[in-house]
Chains A and B, each alone.
Chain A
Amino acid sequence: MTADTRPRRKQRHPGLTLALDILNHGGLTIVALVFLFPFFWMVSNAVRGNAEVLAVPPRLLPTEWQWGNFVEAWLHLPFGRFFLNSAIVAGSVTAITIVVSSLAAYAFARLRFPGRDGIFVAYLGTLMIPQVMLVIPLFLIINQLGWVNTYQGMILPMAFSSFGAFLLRQFFLSIPRELEEAALIDGASRLRILISIIIPLSLPAIGLLALFTFIGQWNNFLWPLIVVHGMDYATLPLGLTMFQTEQGTSWNYIMAGAAISMLPGLVLAIVLQQVIYKGIAMGAGFGGR
């Protein structure tokens, strides 16, 4: 910071500034601890015996730390299987979304063809459609195809995001055309240009689209709830709701499962915090919640 040479109307005492600073940080720390409490409560209840979870009044810390509960939940409940299903579904949807959106976005951004703007407006127009309205006909389609309880039934209806095409189009438009003109004159194909010029320059936008698509699908609940029956194809969020109704809910295992399901998102949020911050600023997450 450069020294401020302009006259200040009111000069604060340095001690007062320090006191305000401490008050600010102290207040925010308290709010932050309240925000973090559910995470603490989850872990603290995951590693105690089930009887102790329901003790009244509840104890803050377990009398005995049973870290083995995580192994138990992973192997027997079986959150390991749910984790795998979540990874397969979220990973596939993300991969398809990236490929399909990049191709479509290039057509919207760079190629001239009849009906381009009309199709693009139709894409934009569907962004407000509530998911719960789509799932009824989607279920009837998937049911007709015999895809209930299959990976393709879980993946394909979620993999064609008009938002992805929109986001990448906006980014592609910001790339100077001159960069691809030389390649065009040399006779390079459009696909070649997309792969070797446009995509390398768009990695930040593509990475953000991948991140938010993956997290969105990892956390998705409504569609798996409708298209999956039984445990074999259940994802983590669906698996978490399966032990609620059983007699004598095993709260400690459910808390362990909740922690397992939260782990990838928490790691990504911490490691990629600067990327996410910039991405939300440019509208990559689409949306408010």
Chain B
Amino acid sequence: MTESISTQAAVAPVRRRNRMSAHETRMAFLFLLPSLLGFIAFMLFPIVASLVISFTNWQLISAPSFIGFANYQRLFTLDPAFYTVLGNTLFFTAEYLVLNIIVSLGLAVWISGLKRGQRWFRVIFFLPTFTPSIAASVVWLLIFTPGGFMDLVFQTLSLHVPNLLLDPRLAMQAVIIVTLWANAGYNMVLFNAALDLVPQSYLDAAKIDGANAWDRFWKIRLPLISPTVFFGTVMTAITSLQVFDQIYVITRGGPGSATATLGFAIYQNGFSNYQMGYASALAWVMFLIIMALTALQFWFQRKWVHYDS
């Protein structure tokens, strides 16, 4: 591809070549300008501003003043709610991430074994992922409401489970159920597509050698799709650390603060209490956790992800 350009350049005098590349730079600048302006105004500047605000006590109405690390100090040493919120977030992420991968991978494998109807099952499990999370949450709120359908199911099955939304130990499970329903279909499609690419001849060969379905999954299919599973796991971890919509609608962080997560706490501090400085400090803690977890996953992938050379 660069050959024809270089032959052209060899014929043309050097000065013309310089003029051409100056022209190209100017063109590139014009092409990039709208995107770059938006990127600077709505991404780069806010990131820097967020860090600066986290070192102030800005409360919208009063003029902000610089208070150094006081917000971070308050987080880690003074605010008793912080560790609850942090614990809730990590608990949600850990349980949801594991269940998401089990459900989505399980369904993907199950569906991929079908000769007929694969497409339709896939679209049914995918449907919730294209619906607004708020709409899904409102519907599930009705299902979980005391005396509602979920309680009826528990009663009918003679399970002595208290109402999920009223019990501080179970409320997070309600949030996890909704999130799974709303989102697991996405990874299911991702993994299903990867499984479709595993060559049938590999599986046939293993079958002839006497490998059963269980071995074929763990020794052939999973290693072959492990880069995709890794990608799905990393992305799901990043989004689940930010969980907010479902909690805003279904539990408002309650009962008590049993389901208050980092995302919810940032919103509350920033937009209910207008403590922009403190909320920004919380947001940076979230960002650092996201980066740390992602780095950890990249480090850990060496142990289980197989890439073709």
Interface centre among A28, A130, A221 (most CB of B within 10 A): A130
Contact B193–A128 (Cβ < 8 Å): no
Interface 0/1 of B83-107, CB less than 8 Å to A: 0000000000000000000000001
Interface 0/1 of A117-153, CB less than 8 Å to B: 0010011001011111111111111000000000000
> Would A240 and B135 be within 8 Å (CB), given that A100-B34, A111-B24 are in contact?
yes
A26 to B50, CA, bound (A): 52
A244 to B49, CA, bound (A): 34
The verdict on A112 contacting chain B, using a C-beta distance below 8 Å, is: yes
What residues of A have a CB within 8 angstroms of the CB of B210 in the complex?
A: 9
What residues of A have a CB within 8 angstroms of the CB of B271 in the complex?
A: 139, 225-226
A119 to B31, CA, bound (A): 13
Size range of the chain B interface in the assembly: 35 or more
The verdict on A87 contacting chain B, using a C-beta distance below 8 Å, is: no
A280 to B196, CA, bound (A): 13
What residues of A have a CB within 8 angstroms of the CB of B41 in the complex?
A: 141, 160
The verdict on B25 contacting chain A, using a C-beta distance below 8 Å, is: yes
What residues of B have a CB within 8 angstroms of the CB of A225 in the complex?
A: 248, 267, 271
What residues of B have a CB within 8 angstroms of the CB of A274 in the complex?
A: 119
Using a CB–CB cutoff of 8 Å, the interface residues on chain A facing chain B are 4, 6-9, 21, 24-25, 27-28, 31-32, 35-36, 38-39, 41-42, 45, 53-54, 56-58, 99-101, 103-104, 106-108, 111-114, 116, 119, 122-123, 126, 128-141, 156-157, 159-160, 162, 165, 176-178, 181, 190, 194, 215, 218-219, 221-222, 225-226, 236-238, 240-241, 244, 251, 254-255, 257-259, 261-262, 265-266, 268-270, 273-274, 276-278, 280-281, 283, 285-289
Count of A-B contacts judged by CB separation below 8 Å = 308
Instruction: Please name the 5 residue pairs, one residue from A and one from B, whose CB atoms are nearest each other, closest first.
Output: A160-B38, A288-B235, A104-B35, A289-B183, A281-B193
What residues of A have a CB within 8 angstroms of the CB of B241 in the complex?
A: 130
Contact A265–B131 (Cβ < 8 Å): yes
Contact B239–A103 (Cβ < 8 Å): no
Contact B290–A130 (Cβ < 8 Å): yes
* Closest chain B CB from A176 CB (angstroms): 8
A197 to B203, CA, bound (A): 42
List 12 other contacts, CB 8 Å, given A133-B266, A258-B139. A32-B124, A38-B181, A111-B31, A126-B44, A137-B53, A160-B35, A222-B245, A236-B132, A240-B138, A258-B135, A277-B189, A281-B193
Contact A281–B267 (Cβ < 8 Å): no
Contact A277–B122 (Cβ < 8 Å): yes
Q: Which of B112-165 contact A (CB under 8 A)?
A: 113-115, 117, 119, 121-136, 138-140, 142-143, 145, 147-149, 151-152, 155
Of B72-80, B167-175, B278-286, B299-307, which stretch is located at the interface?
B278-286
* Closest chain B CB from A31 CB (angstroms): 7
A202 to B187, CA, bound (A): 25
* Closest chain A CB from B128 CB (angstroms): 7
- 16 of the cross-chain contacts (CB-CB < 8 Å) are A111-B25, A111-B28, A126-B43, A129-B47, A129-B287, A132-B242, A132-B244, A133-B287, A134-B43, A134-B50, A141-B42, A194-B31, A240-B249, A262-B132, A273-B126, A280-B193
Contact B122–A160 (Cβ < 8 Å): no
Chain B, interface SS category: helix
* Closest chain B CB from A234 CB (angstroms): 12
Contact A162–B132 (Cβ < 8 Å): no
The verdict on B70 contacting chain A, using a C-beta distance below 8 Å, is: no
The verdict on B186 contacting chain A, using a C-beta distance below 8 Å, is: yes
Contact B32–A104 (Cβ < 8 Å): yes
> Would A241 and B131 be within 8 Å (CB), given that A123-B39, A181-B4, A277-B189 are in contact?
no
Contact B119–A273 (Cβ < 8 Å): yes
Contact B114–A24 (Cβ < 8 Å): yes
Contact B135–A261 (Cβ < 8 Å): yes
Contact check: which of A45, A57, A157, A222 meets B42 at CB < 8 Å? A157
Contact A221–B133 (Cβ < 8 Å): yes
- Name B211's closest neighbour in chain A (CB-CB): A9
A278 to B233, CA, bound (A): 19
What residues of A have a CB within 8 angstroms of the CB of B42 in the complex?
A: 134, 138, 141, 156-157, 160
Contact A128–B238 (Cβ < 8 Å): yes
Contact B27–A219 (Cβ < 8 Å): no
Contact A137–B49 (Cβ < 8 Å): yes
* Closest chain B CB from A46 CB (angstroms): 10
- Name A20's closest neighbour in chain B (CB-CB): B113
Contact B124–A25 (Cβ < 8 Å): no
